[in-house]
């Protein structure tokens, strides 16, 4: 297992929402890779802090009591110098109490009222460049095999002959000219992952899709912690965590990086915030797929 794959699945691994064979592979990788093991422990600690955090409301009289303690610890004369005062136990304890309480109140407030911490650093240009011509009509349709496994097919259409190439992961799936509805069956999606599909038409226009191994019927609110990820990696992680298919129309800037920490919000709020940062337009396809298009 590669480190990037392991880190994409950390949240699902902690939730134990992935298939046992994949969880076993992650157990093995964590035992062998010190870097991934450290990141895993970091996410676990963050979850634990979030679970234990409680809103702290300081009593109205706290300030006056602390100030009385501070004043009581300062002798009237001779006036000590500040570096001498700082070492007096009662004064140091009072200051430490103020700082600790303030930090706890601020941290508790942020964890409850700022459910999403999101930043996007662009490489200089537009994070996502729009396509040069009208979008190639496409739709992704799920279907079940005889074994009950979820698979996806891609249906394409064009008003005039259009050169199209379809790649899923590292596998070339289909290439040729599309002038009427054309169907391409995509490879199976391993459990606990998403299928990364890239569609290129007319040589330069790009559409990316992330298709989960299972479509969630519930309103998930997962915890996400992503650091310095590309736009594609961020959307792939969101698609897997929420169990929804996502489509991005437009070419992304490879230098753009996304930092995302979420204590658990609904999908619509997550995508709205991300679309604002990346200057994207959100729409819903007839098949229920969420489509993000460069403005």
> Which letter, b or e, does each residue of 104-136 get, where b requires 16 or more Cβ atoms within 10 Å of its Cβ?
eeeeeeebeeebbebebebeeebbbebbeeeeb
* Phi then psi dihedrals of residue 53, to 5 deg: -65, 135
Peptide bond connecting 274 to the previous residue in cis, omega within 30 degrees of 0: no
Q: Is-above-0.75 flag for pTM?
A: no
d(CA 169, CA 186): 10
* Domain regions of the chain by residue span: 3-52, 62-113, 119-294
Is pLDDT above 70 for 152?
yes
Average pLDDT rounded to a whole number, residues 256-264? 90
d(CA 33, CA 60): 50
d(CA 271, CA 39): 25
User: Could you report the per-residue pLDDT of 180-226, keeping only the tens digit for each?
Assistant: 899 999 999 988 899 999 999 998 899 999 999 988 888 888 999 99
268 in Cβ contact with 239 (< 8 Å): no
23 in Cβ contact with 16 (< 8 Å): yes
User: Could you report the per-residue pLDDT of 4-49, keeping only the tens digit for each?
Assistant: 778 878 888 887 777 777 888 888 888 999 888 888 888 888 777 7
**What is the average pLDDT value for the chain, to the nearest integer?**
81
More confident residue, 48 or 105: 48
Q: Collect all residues with Cβ–Cβ distance below 8 Å to 16 and sequence separation of at least 6.
A: 23
User: Could you report the per-residue pLDDT of 110-138, keeping only the tens digit for each?
Assistant: 444 448 899 999 877 789 998 887 778 89
């Amino acid at each position: 297992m590669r480190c990037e794959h392991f880190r994409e699945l950390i949240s699902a691994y902690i939730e134990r929402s992935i298939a046992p064979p994949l969880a076993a592979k992650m157990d093995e990788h964590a035992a062998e890779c010190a870097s991934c093991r450290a990141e895993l422990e970091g996410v676990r600690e963050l979850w634990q802090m979030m679970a234990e955090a409680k809103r702290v409301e300081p009593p109205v009289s706290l300030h006056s009591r602390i100030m009385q303690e501070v004043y009581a610890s300062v002798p009237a004369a001779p006036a000590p110098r500040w570096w001498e005062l700082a070492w007096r136990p009662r004064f140091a304890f009072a200051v430490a109490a103020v700082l600790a309480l303030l930090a706890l109140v601020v941290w508790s407030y942020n964890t409850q009222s700022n459910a999403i911490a999101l930043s996007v650093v662009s490489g200089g240009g537009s994070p996502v460049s729009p396509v040069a011509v009208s979008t190639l009509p496409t739709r992704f349709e799920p279907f079940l095999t005889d074994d009950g496994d979820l698979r996806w097919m891609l249906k394409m259409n064009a008003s005039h002959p259009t050169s199209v190439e379809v790649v899923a992961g590292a596998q070339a799936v289909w290439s040729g000219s599309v002038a009427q509805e054309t169907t391409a069956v995509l490879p199976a999606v391993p459990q606990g992952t998403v299928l990364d599909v890239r569609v290129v038409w007319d040589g330069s226009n790009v559409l990316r899709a992330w298709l989960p191994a299972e479509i969630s019927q519930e309103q998930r609110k997962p915890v996400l912690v992503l650091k310095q990820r590309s736009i594609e990696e961020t959307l792939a992680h969101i698609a897997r965590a929420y169990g929804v298919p996502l489509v991005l129309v437009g070419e992304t800037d490879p230098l753009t990086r996304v930092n995302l920490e979420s204590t658990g919000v609904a999908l619509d709020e997550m995508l709205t915030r991300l679309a604002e940062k990346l200057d994207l337009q959100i729409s819903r396809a007839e098949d229920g797929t969420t489509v993000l298009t460069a403005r």
